Amino acid sequence: MPKYDSWKEMPIAGVIDKPATAREYNTGTWRIMRPIVDKDACINCMQCWLYCPDMAIDGIVKEDGKTEMVGFNYDYCKGCGTCAKVCPVNAITMKPETEFLK
Amino acid sequence: MPTKLAITGAAAVAHAMRQINPDVVAAYPITPQTPIVEYFAQFVADGVVDTVMVPVESEHSAMSAVVGSAAAGARTMTATAANGLALMFEIVYIAASMRLPIVMPIVNRALSGPINIHGDHSDAYAVRDAGWIQLMSENSQEAYDLTIIATKLAEREEVLTPAMVNLDGFITSHGVEGVEILDDEVVKDFVGQWEPKYPLLDVDNPITHGPLDLFDYYFEHHRQQQEGLKNAYKALPEVFAEYEKISGRKYDFLDLYKMEDAEYVMVVMNSAASTAKYVVDELREKGIKAGLIKPWVFTPFPKKEFLEALDGRKAVVVLDRAMSFGKEAPLYSLVKSALYEAKERPMIGSYVYGLGGRDVTPAMLHIPFEEAMKGELDPNEERYLGLKE
Amino acid sequence: MPVNMKQLINLVAKEDWPFTQGHRLCPGCNAPMVAKWATMTAKALGYEPVVGAATGCLEVSTTIYPFTAWNVPYIHNAFENVAATISGAEAAYRSLKNRGKLKTDKPIKFIAFGGDGGTYDIGLQSLSGAVERGHDFLYILYDNEGYMNTGNQRSGSTPPGADATTEPVGKVKTGKVQFKKNIVEIIGAHENVYAATASTSDPFDFMAKVEKGLKHEGPAFIAVLAPCVRFWRIPESDGPKITKLAVETKYWPLYEIDRGVYKITRKPRNFKPIEEYIRSIGRFRKALQHPEYKEVIEEMQKYVDTRWERLLKFEEATKGMYLR
Ligand SMILES: Cc1ncc(C[n+]2csc(CCOP(=O)(O)OP(=O)(O)O)c2C)c(N)n1
Ligand code: SF4
Ligand code: SF4
Ligand code: SF4
Ligand SMILES: [Mg+2]
């Protein structure tokens, strides 16, 4: 995490001199509901990937040119459920985080 | 070879801008700054400069656009006065905090209300805490010189602080005087090229300008700004010396006039200093040891220089061309506080004069000296010169 | 060819997200969708987006020092001046390019994001000025119909009856009474501009408009209906579902005004009554309990019907009649 102990070390002007440092902050800790995908039902349409407001779904284009929804990035997923809502085949279900407590 | 031209202060500033040749100028007209923008727009229209001019729809947008432009990495200038500066106010602070070396001539005008287009210093004072360097000019020559000096100073890496160059509305901006204009090449070499530290347009190294800066680092950023001004204070003598080399004209924090043995000292800013110098000469002819101090630099405030110049004098009268309602006049209170550490504190008095462009006459400026000589100064009384009492 | 899903996925695989994880907008907020789609589209088209943002939820939640969710150059100046700020950056780009001082020769495109407060209200002058001057930039309004960052105060975009803290529903008032200002018409009336509406229910319609806006040499403006899940009092998952209803009820028709030429980009086959839209959003609940609000709904229905008819006629009448 970028942390400065003295004003003398910091870049001036309030500039954040590196891009995408927010990744060092895990918004996944906010989550109350966890999205789970049923890959058998999933048709890899990528709507969930496109919609996720937290860029917490990974996707690829395979060598055969087909798209594939790979899974969730729980470091950042806030559990909003938008992915589940936009999925045309209801392949995503939202489960309480408490179910995953060990 | 420098050329001597008979021009107005506004034209002199526009010539300085032409020679500095900024990448971008964004400005909005307001009396008495308007001719600066007009002259410069003509330079652009005639192809004398290839600066991109942004004729914005307000001063708020002028300052906003110059922030965008300077952050992008372009040398950027604007100019304004009074109400225009007030409309910019929020972004004036932001420009300083973003450490953008914007240079902005301010043609000093009374800050309403009621509305008044003539000169006083209420606009300059209103932004004294905004984090800008503030240079002050007595006449067109100084306005020209200080605009060039400001550019060099503001862009120094350890300074990176925007700068205002103040000149009095109408008296300086519209008065025609002889002004010595340096060669274009000389100015070009003097100001050099600005190498921005964090250019927004460096798409290969994306950075974030202007984040939300909460209690964990805001304080530190402001401490850095303070350092920028401390560094400006350190750099000023160097920049002045370099400028003397190309121009033969010597600048300093304070313009000291007949101060060697002066017992009675007047402190005054900008154009009224010319009248005050005349008054000092008259008093000297009568054998009175009068002197004058005119700051060329208001921010960073040359406290040490004031202390050195005033310690041990008999009396000091400080003239302010604006009031600070409910408080002591700004220049007065700063000079007074500089004298806290004096070994032999002089008597001191505060005089407010010339509001809304009211004429400043020699007779008027004799009054503070006379009261000083009679021992009638009261440090707690604000007195008014030329007021219909 | 408009951008497609595969292009976007490949872009992220090859170059990373231009707008990244770790931002602190509320779960389900629709503003980050807008930011994500717009920057991805620009990148997929081979442009380097340089982003400006007005003060508001999107800005404060994505750049909490020393964290930034932007993977592209970004600048925030203040609340009311993102258009002026970006116009300055765009002027600098032209100047530096002309003077050979630019470090890159990649094509840069400027995108400004503003909330409804920063656009309909306090930033309208700055936006109008920048559009009139013809700067080459795309302004994207994420319209959540209120000052959400500061806790749901009314804006010129808040619809009648929506509960807002500065114009709440009370014993004698049904909340805000005025209709939304028609911002697209206002900006479209500058005539040199590509102006459009969009909705989070239709990302590809939006992205096609982003593409048009970026390719239009001059100012472009897109108003995207992007719910604030928190103060609209809707489930976190439901933003896009509700904006879909907004389109289907004519509350938020999807169209564009390209230099004076109107085009409706989506024509729903069947329309639903506006009341269905209003009932689906929690922030109308209090007004709905008010006996007088029924009349307001009727008025709104009349308004959206008339506006739609008018749009159809404009579309017909302005065909091919580019003003600039
Ligand atoms: C000049 C000024 N006035 C008021 C504010 C306080 N303020 C900050 S954000 C905001 C509302 C933002 O609303 P909007 O533009 O709709 O964006 P949202 O937060 O809804 O995304 C207000 C009133 C400010 N920052 N600056
Ligand atoms: S629940 Fe929300 S944040 Fe999590 S993956 Fe789905 S859309 Fe993204
Ligand atoms: S939206 Fe549903 S079907 Fe489409 S990729 Fe996501 S999980 Fe699979
Ligand atoms: S308050 Fe509303 S607009 Fe702001 S982040 Fe939360 S959901 Fe988004
Ligand atoms: Mg809003």
The whole-number pLDDT of residue C2 equals: 83
Which CATH class, in words, describes the domain spanning A38-102?
alpha beta
C12, C22, C62 ranked by CB distance to A24: nearest = C22
Neighbouring C-beta atoms of residue B151, cutoff 10 Å: 27
Q: Could you tell me which residues are beta bridge partners of residue C140?
A: C113, C222
Give the start-to-end residue ranges of the domains of chain B: 3-247, 254-385
Locus of tokens 């989550």: A31
Return the axis-axis angle of helices C203-215 and C31-44, rounded to nearest 10°.
Answer: 50
HSE-up of residue C227 (Cα within 13 Å, Cβ side)? 30
Is residue C177 classed exposed, middle or buried when 0-12, 13-18 and 19+ CB atoms within 10 A define those classes?
exposed
Q: Which secondary-structure segment (H or E) carries B254?
A: strand B254-257
Closest atom of ligand 4 to CA, residue C231: 2
What would the CATH number be for the domain defined by C5-317?
A: 3.40.50.970
Return the axis-axis angle of helices B82-97 and B218-247, rounded to nearest 10°.
Answer: 110
Q: Model confidence at A101, in pLDDT bands (50, 70, 90)?
A: confident
Task: Please name the residues between 6 and 65 in chain A that touch chain C, using a CB distance below 8 Å.
Answer: 14, 16, 18-27, 30-31, 46, 49-51, 53-56, 59-61, 65
C80, C88, C96 ranked by CB distance to B26: nearest = C88
- Which structure tokens are listed for C38? 């717009």
Q: Is B143 a residue whose pLDDT tops 90?
A: yes
Compute, in angstroms, the gap from residue A49 CA to the centroid of ligand 3: 8
A14, A18, A85 ranked by CB distance to C241: nearest = A85
- Start-to-end CA span in chain C (Å): 24
Chain C CB contacts of B201 under 8 Å are 50, 73, 89, 92-93, 96, 102-104, 108
Q: Model confidence at A9, in pLDDT bands (50, 70, 90)?
A: very high
Q: Model confidence at A1, in pLDDT bands (50, 70, 90)?
A: low
- A12/B211 CB distance under 8 A: no
Q: Model confidence at B319, in pLDDT bands (50, 70, 90)?
A: very high
Give backbone dihedrals phi and psi of A17, rounded to 5 degrees, phi first. -85, 5
Cα distance between residue B167 and residue B150, in whole Å: 13
Q: State whether residue B348 is helix, strand or coil.
A: strand
- B65/C48 CB distance under 8 A: no
- Average pLDDT of chain B to the nearest whole number: 98
Q: Which of A36, A42, A77 to mutate to test the pocket of ligand 3 (most atoms within 8 A of CB)?
A: A42
User: How much is the pTM?
Assistant: 0.97
Give mean pLDDT, residues B36-42.
98
Asked whether C123 and C83 are in contact (CB, 8 A), the reply is: yes
Chain A CB contacts of B100 under 8 Å are 13
Q: Is B306 a residue whose pLDDT tops 60?
A: yes
Q: Which secondary-structure segment (H or E) carries C142?
A: strand C137-143
Protein residue closest via CA to atom 2 of ligand 1: C79
The whole-number pLDDT of residue C173 equals: 87
Give mean pLDDT, residues B77-81.
98
The side-by-side arrangement of strands in the sheet containing B382-385 is B254-257, B290-295, B264-267, B315-320, B347-353, B382-385
Give mean pLDDT, residues B354-376.
97
- A27/C22 CB distance under 8 A: yes
Ligand 1 and C148: CB distance under 6 A? yes
Give mean pLDDT, residues B120-131.
98
The whole-number pLDDT of residue C174 equals: 86
Give mean pLDDT, residues C267-288.
97
Compute, in angstroms, the gap from residue C119 CA to the centroid of ligand 5: 9
Distances (CA, A) of C324 to C109, C257, C258, C320: 21, 12, 9, 11
Residue of B nearest to C92 (CA): B69
Q: Do domains B3-247 and B254-385 have the same CATH topology?
A: yes
Give the start-to-end residue ranges of the domains of chain A: 38-102
Which CATH class, in words, describes the domain spanning B254-385?
alpha beta
Q: State whether residue C62 is helix, strand or coil.
A: helix
Chain B CB contacts of A10 under 8 Å are 217, 220-221, 224
Give mean pLDDT, residues B9-34.
98
Locus of tokens 């600070």: B324
Compute, in angstroms, the gap from residue A44 CA to the centroid of ligand 3: 5
Chain C CB contacts of B26 under 8 Å are 88, 91
Chain C CB contacts of A53 under 8 Å are 25, 27-33, 36
Asked whether B265 and B259 are in contact (CB, 8 A), the reply is: yes
Angle subtended at Cα C300 by Cα C298 and Cα C301, rounded to the nearest 5 degrees: 65
- Average pLDDT of chain C to the nearest whole number: 97
B280 or C291, greater pLDDT? B280
The tens digit of pLDDT for each residue in C126-175 reads 999 999 999 999 999 999 999 999 999 999 999 999 999 999 988 888 89
- C96/B208 CB distance under 8 A: no
Q: Model confidence at A3, in pLDDT bands (50, 70, 90)?
A: confident
Domain B3-247 adopts which CATH fold? Answer: Rossmann fold (3.40.50)
Give mean pLDDT, residues C73-96.
98
Q: Which of B164, B162, B182 is nearest to B296 (CA)?
A: B164
C73, C95, C126 ranked by CB distance to B52: nearest = C95
- The alpha carbon of C261 is separated from its chain's Cα centroid by a whole number of angstroms, namely 20
The whole-number pLDDT of residue C154 equals: 97
Give the start-to-end residue ranges of the domains of chain C: 5-317
The whole-number pLDDT of residue A102 equals: 74
Q: Is C1 a residue whose pLDDT tops 80?
A: no
Asked whether B137 and B106 are in contact (CB, 8 A), the reply is: no
What Rg value do the Cα atoms of chain A yield, rounded?
18
Q: Is A2 a residue whose pLDDT tops 80?
A: no
The whole-number pLDDT of residue C276 equals: 98
Asked whether B75 and B49 are in contact (CB, 8 A), the reply is: no
The whole-number pLDDT of residue C163 equals: 93
